Structures are given as C-alpha cells and as structure tokens.
C-alpha cells in the first residue's frame, strides 16, 4: 500500500515526505537517495558557492536519480546577499519543477518560478506568513513549528496548533515541518489536515547523508533535550545542538543583547561546515538541530526510513484508529 495525498499527486512522488533544504547537507548524494526512496529530495542552492556550481550539482543529481527532486532557495538576512536571481535562473534553466522557498519576502521569486511553471512550496513559521504566501501564488505551505531545527520564528508556537489552524484558513495544501521523524507523526499530520511532512534533522541521520559520522552519532546519542535557542536577542532565533559554543553565544547575548557583531564569529556558517564535512566534532560549532533528536536512535538508509514511516502510518490509519470507532447501539 501507499499513501496518496494531494502532495504525492502534485509532485509525482510515492511517499508524502520531503527532505527539506539544509545548509552544508543538501547535496546531490542525499537528494537523489531520498528521491530514489520514493520521497522528494532537495538540493540546497546556497550551499553552492556560485550559480554555476548549483548547475553542476543539479546535473550531478540527474545522473543519480530519474525521479523528481527539487531545489531549496532560502532568502537570508545577509550582510552581503548572494545573487538570488542568478540562482533562480539556473533552477529554471535546468528544468527543476519543484522549489522550496524560505526566509524573507518571497513575492518576486514566487512570481518568477510560477511564470516558468515551477511548483513553489513556501516554508512559513506563522499563519500570517502562510496566508501571504498563498495570496502571492505559492502552491503549498510547509508549516515550520517551534520544534524545528534552524529558524522557528519568534512566536514559539508548535505544530499541534499551527496545523489545524492551517486547515481552517488555507485554501492550498500544506505539510508539516519541524520535529518530524516517525510514522506516528506522519499519521497525525494527515489527521490534522496536512498532506505530508518535511524532514531535515531526521534525514541527517541516514546512511547516504554526506556529513561525517561524528555528527550522525551526536544525533543518535542526543534526545529531545539536546537542543537550545540562540540569536533570540537579534530577533533571528535559531534552534541548534546544545553544546559549549551555543552556551558561549547565549552568554554573549545576555551581556550584549542585540549586538550581532559580538556573536558573528561564533555563528558563521563555515564553522559548522567544518564540523559537518571535516572534523565531525559536534561540540566545536553552532549547528542547527531539531527536537526530533528524541526520536532518532539509528542511522538507516533513506529507503528504510521512508518505508518504515509509511508502513507505521498505514498501520495506524488502517488498524489502530478504526478500532476506536464504535457504532452506537441506539
């Protein structure tokens, strides 16, 4: 059996599961493995140094899978923003049919991608932003709850509230992002009105993920208490792995609230690139991780992970839940 939802029909995939964009993680190796597993793999555009590097990574992925995959384009609040238009042009020119957008106002890029018949899934952390993205023409919302790795926004609202609210107010499909890691949650998301799930941290702990074993082991060894929040004082909250460097950032923020330059040297992206790709030292940098760590206890292949999630969700939907519905004798 398979789970058929609006997401699987829209994207032409077997399982209602998306691998979210992740800096220094979303390369062709992981994206192709996820897509080959029947879900939707995502290449992270800004992990590539230049638009031409992104073109090469997309072409590499095409040699590794003949199934759909997408590209993430996150609009960052950077001091020196990259050439987003050039990255978007490469995505369109290479025939990518699904884009995950995130970050700052996506209006310009939703319009640009829609003009090229690209499906746009926009990641949001609030109902207000989801409604705006819907109005701008997004095809699907990825609702990122407070549980997520990376940037959960500043409102601290979890998906158990955000998802049923999406079902009340949105006209377009939505999926759940943040804290997802097993089939029970997949079934729950479908029950709450969602059409699928987006996973980041959970896909980091897979065989094909191109990060060094030390980080994967830290995800397995950790639990739901192994993350913390940094950059709250600069209104750019990020959920990260709880370690000594994150604690140092928090101490500086307490002493110098709102001073990004005081913590910049500790939160630079290249710091955790080295952790992910070179040292494997989970305690040497600030790196994004979600509370789903509490559900990670192994490092399966992407295929094993997707299949067991879907099987668990199907079992709950077909076996457990129907037994709870008792016909009245009246």
Exposure string for 85-103, b = 16+ CB within 10 A, e = fewer: eebbebbbeeebbbbbbbb
235 Rama sector, left if φ>0, alpha if ψ -120 to 50, beta otherwise: left
- Per the structure block, which two tokens stand in for 212? 């060094």
Low-confidence ranges of the chain (pLDDT < 70): 1, 79, 330
The count of other CB atoms within 10 Å of the CB of residue 115 is 10
Same domain, 180 and 58: yes
**pLDDT number for residue 330:** 65
**pLDDT number for residue 159:** 97
**pLDDT number for residue 327:** 84
**pLDDT number for residue 315:** 96
Q: How far apart are CA 109 and CA 85, in angstroms?
A: 8
Domain CATH code at residue 24: 3.20.20.70
pLDDT tens-digit profile of 219-254?
999 999 999 999 999 999 999 999 999 999 999 999
- With beta carbons less than 8 A apart as the criterion, state whether 44 and 72 touch: yes
Same domain, 49 and 157: yes
Show the domain range for 234. Answer: 227-288
The C-alpha R_g of the chain, in whole angstroms, comes to 19
Same domain, 155 and 186: yes
Q: Give Cα 256 distance to the centre of its chain.
A: 31
**pLDDT number for residue 1:** 65
132 in a domain, yes or no?
yes
Element (H, E) at 297: none
Same domain, 152 and 99: yes
Which residues lie below 8 Å from residue 325, measured CB to CB, with a gap of 6+? none
Element (H, E) at 310: helix 302-315
**pTM over the 0.85 mark:** yes
Question: What are the angstrom distances between the C-alpha of 201 and each of 126, 218, 277, 295?
Answer: 21, 11, 16, 11
**pLDDT number for residue 320:** 94
Same domain, 27 and 163: yes
167 in a domain, yes or no?
yes
Same domain, 177 and 276: no
19 in a domain, yes or no?
yes
303 in a domain, yes or no?
no
User: What is the CB-side half-sphere exposure of residue 278 using CA atoms within 13 A?
Assistant: 8
Q: How far apart are CA 1 and CA 198, in angstroms?
A: 21
131 in a domain, yes or no?
yes
């Amino acid at each position: 059996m398979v789970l058929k939802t609006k997401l699987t029909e829209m994207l032409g995939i077997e399982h209602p599961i998306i691998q979210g964009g992740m800096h220094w993680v979303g390369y062709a190796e992981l994206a192709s493995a996820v897509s080959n597993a029947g879900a939707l793999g995502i290449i992270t555009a800004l992990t590539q140094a230049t638009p031409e590097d992104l073109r090469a990574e997309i072409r590499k992925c095409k040699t590794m899978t003949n199934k759909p995959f997408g590209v993430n384009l996150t609009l960052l609040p950077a001091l020196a923003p990259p050439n987003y238009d050039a990255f978007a042009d490469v995505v369109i020119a290479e025939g990518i049919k699904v884009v995950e957008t995130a970050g700052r106002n996506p209006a310009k890029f939703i319009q640009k991608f829609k003009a090229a018949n690209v499906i746009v899934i926009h990641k949001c952390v609030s109902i207000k932003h989801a409604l705006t993205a819907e109005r701008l023409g997004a095809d699907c919302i990825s609702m990122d709850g407070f549980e997520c790795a990376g940037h959960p926004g500043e409102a601290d609202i979890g998906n158990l509230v955000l998802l049923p609210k999406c079902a009340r107010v949105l006209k377009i499909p939505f999926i759940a992002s943040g804290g997802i890691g097993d089939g029970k949650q997949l079934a729950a998301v479908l029950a709450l009105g969602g059409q699928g799930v987006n996973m980041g941290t959970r896909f980091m702990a897979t065989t094909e993920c191109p990060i060094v074993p030390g980080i994967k082991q830290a995800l397995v060894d950790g639990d739901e208490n192994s993350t913390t929040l940094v950059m709250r004082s600069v209104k750019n909250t990020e959920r990260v792995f709880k370690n000594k460097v994150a604690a140092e950032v928090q101490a500086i923020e307490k002493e110098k609230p709102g001073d990004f330059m005081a913590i910049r040297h500790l939160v630079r992206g290249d710091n955790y690139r080295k952790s992910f790709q070179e040292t494997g030292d989970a305690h040497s940098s600030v790196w994004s991780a979600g509370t789903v760590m509490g559900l990670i206890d192994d490092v399966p292949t992407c295929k094993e992970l997707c299949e067991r999630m879907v099987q668990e969700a199907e079992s709950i939907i077909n076996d457990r839940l129907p037994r709870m519905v008792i016909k009245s004798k009246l």
